[in-house]
């Protein structure tokens, strides 16, 4: 049986969320059912209710230590509506976009180089002592250095636009509280061309992986599904910061399109199932059975009509041509993610050259409203923040749908498909086999921290249950 790896919890407590994979075997040792359980975020409503609207974009960053900027921006967009602002001053919108592109870039880079590269380079079944970032760096030190430099570039953009890492205050209801000084802009301009070259190299790596493992990728957690994201109003271009909701069915036909996201609840239903506390949202028009969908980088490549930056657009075209329509392969997320890194760097370069970033008109005002819904395309996919605020500026209601929740059913399907393929009827289930299940989950880059609040012993636990219902194996894993 697989060796149990223990992860020490004391003194390091940085385990904000937890998840569990349960694999049920029948009497013949075939995989009967496999499920990913992620404990739903509770306590959040209580934490937010009664807060003053002005502090919401700052305190929501406490929800998650992994994607604080996403929550910062989604809540600020909701609060824009509360202060009656539908169009931000150009400086405010562009500073927020710069912040967002910086964060998507650094998040994707971390995921690709540090979490996924070992699996992709050494193979999913390689021994754990080989399958880690240190071996990647040992074999390719340049790659390791670039990954850290790219992360740093993204982080510094976040700091220049949002402020302190742990307590960003940049986005405020109706605008932004700073612009970008010329000397800071010039520092970034001095680095951005190199970043673009490195981003393209990373893209070539991810694309090359999928192309050279086409059969394996096609058979690994590939299943038809609907896909949903924001796209730009009017032309349907990829837009990570703002736009309208588009959902396509597995064949690429629209289920809904150009939907004002303030009407999200007319199109999405949030379902809770007994075996998981986590919500399973579905598309109303398709019903609970068939209405599930995927979000995230690959979903965005599927929904976007095109990309408005040239290098990323060419890459988008190449992915489309390779897929011959929508792409439904779990592992193609890696390719999609690196297309987005190129897009973000192109966007960052475009913004840095825009004098609006040095503008001084930072905040707009409007007529007060009592409800606001902010939606962005976070690194992991669509993120919805919904608030009601009373006349005393206090929050009375909030609802949140995070990317990991949108992807709940999709990740479960991927887990089941991979478990059936790699674990069924095996005389001995090894760590390498279990890692295949993790690879499938990891491709979606779930934020357990976002989706949960309970403090677990391990980020992800795998449990194998025999036909009699007894747990026959447990393994603590790192996602």
Partner 1 sequence: MPVTRLLLIGYGNPGRGDDGLGPALAERMSGRNLPGLTVEIDYQLTVDHAALIATHDAVVFADAAMELGMPYRLTQVEGTPQALGSHQVTPEAALHLAWLLYGRSVPGWVLAIGGEAFGEVQEGLSAVALSNLHLAEQFLAGWIRQAVRAA
Q: Does 64 bind Ni ion (CB under 5 A)?
A: yes
Q: Does 278 bind Ni ion (CB under 5 A)?
A: no
Q: How far is the CB of 322 from partner 1 (least distance, A)?
A: 29
Residues 27-56 interacting with Ni ion (rule: CB under 5 A): none
Q: Which is nearer to Ni ion, 112 or 256 (CB)?
A: 112
Q: How far is the CB of 131 from partner 1 (least distance, A)?
A: 9
Among partner 1, Ni ion, none, residue 63 binds (CB under 5-8 Å by kind): partner 1
Sheet containing 471-477: order of strands: 31-38, 19-25, 460-465, 471-477
What gap in Å lies between CA 146 and CA 123, rounded to an integer?
Answer: 22
Q: Which is nearer to partner 1, 230 or 440 (CB)?
A: 440
Report the run of H or E that residue 276 belongs to, with start and end. none
What gap in Å lies between CA 276 and CA 410, rounded to an integer?
Answer: 14
What gap in Å lies between CA 188 and CA 195, rounded to an integer?
Answer: 10
Residue nearest to Ni ion (CB): 450
Q: How far is the CB of 333 from partner 1 (least distance, A)?
A: 16
Q: Which is nearer to partner 1, 46 or 428 (CB)?
A: 46
Assigned token pair, 315: 């890459």
Assigned token pair, 129: 């002592």
| R_g over Cα of the chain | 22
Q: Indicate the pairing of strand 19-25 with strand 460-465.
A: parallel
Among Ni ion, partner 1, none, residue 459 binds (CB under 5-8 Å by kind): partner 1
Yes or no: say if 333 and 297 are a contact pair by the CB < 8 Å rule: yes
Q: Does 389 bind Ni ion (CB under 5 A)?
A: no
Assigned token pair, 39: 């404990």
Q: How far is the CB of 17 from partner 1 (least distance, A)?
A: 8
Query: Exposure of 160 by Cβ count < 10 A (0-12 exposed, 13-18 middle, 19+ buried)?
Result: buried
Q: Which stretch binds Ni ion (CB under 5 A): 36-44, 63-71, 267-275, 288-296?
A: 63-71
Among Ni ion, partner 1, none, residue 450 binds (CB under 5-8 Å by kind): Ni ion
Q: Alpha helix locations (H) across 263-331?
A: 264-267, 287-290, 297-303, 310-323
Q: How far is the CB of 104 from Ni ion (least distance, A)?
A: 13
What gap in Å lies between CA 52 and CA 268, rounded to an integer?
Answer: 28
What residues have CB less than 8 Å from 340, skipping those under 6 apart? 104, 108, 238, 240, 297, 300, 312
Among Ni ion, partner 1, none, residue 365 binds (CB under 5-8 Å by kind): none
Q: Does 67 bind Ni ion (CB under 5 A)?
A: yes
Q: How far is the CB of 376 from Ni ion (least distance, A)?
A: 13
Q: Which is nearer to Ni ion, 301 or 400 (CB)?
A: 400
Footprint on this chain of partner 1 (rule: CB under 8 A): 7, 9-17, 41, 43-44, 46-47, 59, 61-63, 65-66, 68, 110, 114-115, 128, 132-134, 137-138, 141, 144-145, 147-149, 151-152, 155, 164-166, 447-449, 453-455, 459-460, 478-479
Task: Note the Cα 215 to chain centre separation in Å.
Answer: 26
Residue selected from 109, 202, 312, 447 as contacting Ni ion according to rule CB under 5 A: 447
Q: How far is the CB of 288 from partner 1 (least distance, A)?
A: 29
Residue selected from 66, 110, 245, 301 as contacting Ni ion according to rule CB under 5 A: 66
Task: Note the Cα 354 to chain centre separation in Å.
Answer: 28
Q: Which stretch binds Ni ion (CB under 5 A): 38-46, 59-67, 249-257, 344-352?
A: 59-67
Q: How far is the CB of 412 from partner 1 (least distance, A)?
A: 18
Q: How far is the CB of 448 from Ni ion (least distance, A)?
A: 8
Q: Which is nearer to partner 1, 291 or 446 (CB)?
A: 446
What gap in Å lies between CA 247 and CA 253, rounded to an integer?
Answer: 8
What gap in Å lies between CA 202 and CA 338, rounded to an integer?
Answer: 6
Yes or no: say if 230 and 406 are a contact pair by the CB < 8 Å rule: no
Q: How far is the CB of 24 from partner 1 (least distance, A)?
A: 24
Q: How far is the CB of 137 from partner 1 (least distance, A)?
A: 5
Yes or no: say if 54 and 141 are a contact pair by the CB < 8 Å rule: no
Question: CB count, 10 Å around CB of 416?
Answer: 21
Q: Which stretch binds Ni ion (CB under 5 A): 66-74, 155-163, 227-235, 367-375?
A: 66-74
Residues 136-175 interacting with Ni ion (rule: CB under 5 A): none
What residues have CB less than 8 Å from 177, skipping those under 6 apart? 169, 170, 171, 362, 363
Q: Does 74 bind Ni ion (CB under 5 A)?
A: no
Q: Which stretch binds Ni ion (CB under 5 A): 275-283, 311-319, 437-445, 449-457?
A: 449-457
Among partner 1, Ni ion, none, residue 1 binds (CB under 5-8 Å by kind): none
Residue 453 CA: distances (Å) to CA of 40, 41, 278, 383, 410: 7, 5, 11, 17, 21
What gap in Å lies between CA 451 and CA 45, rounded to an integer?
Answer: 13
The residues binding Ni ion (CB under 5 A) are: 64, 66-67, 447, 449-450
């Amino acid at each position: 049986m697989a060796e149990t790896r223990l992860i020490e919890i004391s003194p390091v407590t940085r385990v904000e969320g937890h998840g569990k994979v349960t694999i049920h075997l029948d009497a013949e040792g075939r995989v009967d059912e496999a499920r990913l359980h992620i404990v739903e975020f509770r306590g959040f409503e209580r934490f937010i209710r009664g807060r003053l609207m002005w502090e919401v974009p700052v305190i929501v960053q406490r929800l998650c230590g992994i994607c604080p900027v996403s929550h910062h921006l989604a809540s600020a967009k909701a609060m824009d509506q509360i202060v009656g602002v539908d169009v931000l001053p150009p400086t405010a919108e562009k500073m927020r976009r710069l912040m967002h592109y910086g964060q998507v870039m650094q998040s994707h880079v971390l995921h690709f180089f540090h979490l996924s590269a070992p699996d992709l380079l050494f193979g999913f079944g390689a021994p754990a002592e080989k399958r880690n970032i240190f071996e990647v760096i040992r074999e390719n030190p340049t790659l390791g250095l670039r990954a850290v430099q790219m992360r740093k570039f993204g982080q510094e953009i976040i700091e220049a636009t949002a402020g302190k890492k742990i307590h960003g205050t940049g986005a405020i209801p109706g605008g932004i509280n700073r612009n970008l000084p010329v000397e800071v802009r010039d520092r970034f301009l001095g680095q951005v061309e190199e970043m673009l070259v490195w981003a393209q190299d990373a893209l070539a790596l991810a694309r090359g992986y999928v192309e050279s493992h086409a059969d394996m990728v096609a058979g690994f957690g590939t299943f038809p599904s609907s896909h949903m994201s924001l796209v730009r109003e009017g032309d349907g271009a990829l837009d990570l910061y703002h736009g309208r909701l588009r959902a396509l069915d597995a064949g690429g036909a629209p289920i809904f399109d150009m939907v004002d996201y303030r009407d999200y609840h007319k199109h999405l239903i949030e379902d809770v199932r007994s075996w998981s506390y986590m919500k399973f949202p579905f598309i109303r028009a398709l019903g609970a059975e068939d209405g599930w969908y995927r979000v995230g980088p690959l979903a965005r490549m599927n929904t976007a009509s095109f990309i408005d930056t040239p290098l990323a657009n060419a890459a988008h075209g190449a992915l489309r041509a390779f897929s011959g329509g929508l792409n439904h392969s779990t592992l193609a997320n890696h390719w999609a993610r690196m297309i987005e890194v190129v897009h973000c760097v192109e966007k960052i370069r475009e913004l840095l050259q825009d004098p609006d970033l040095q503008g001084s008109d930072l905040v707009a005002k409007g007529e007060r409203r009592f409800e606001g819904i902010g939606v962005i395309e976070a690194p992991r996919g669509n993120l919805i923040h919904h608030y009601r605020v009373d006349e005393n500026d206090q929050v009375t209601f909030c609802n949140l749908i995070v990317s990991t929740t949108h992807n709940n059913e999709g990740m479960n399907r991927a887990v089941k498909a991979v478990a059936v393929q790699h674990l069924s009827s095996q005389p001995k289930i090894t760590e390498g086999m279990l890692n295949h299940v993790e690879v499938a989950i990891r491709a979606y880059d779930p934020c357990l921290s976002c989706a949960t609040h309970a403090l677990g012993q391990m980020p992800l636990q795998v449990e194998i249950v025999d036909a009699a219902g007894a747990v026959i194996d447990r393994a603590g894993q790192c996602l």
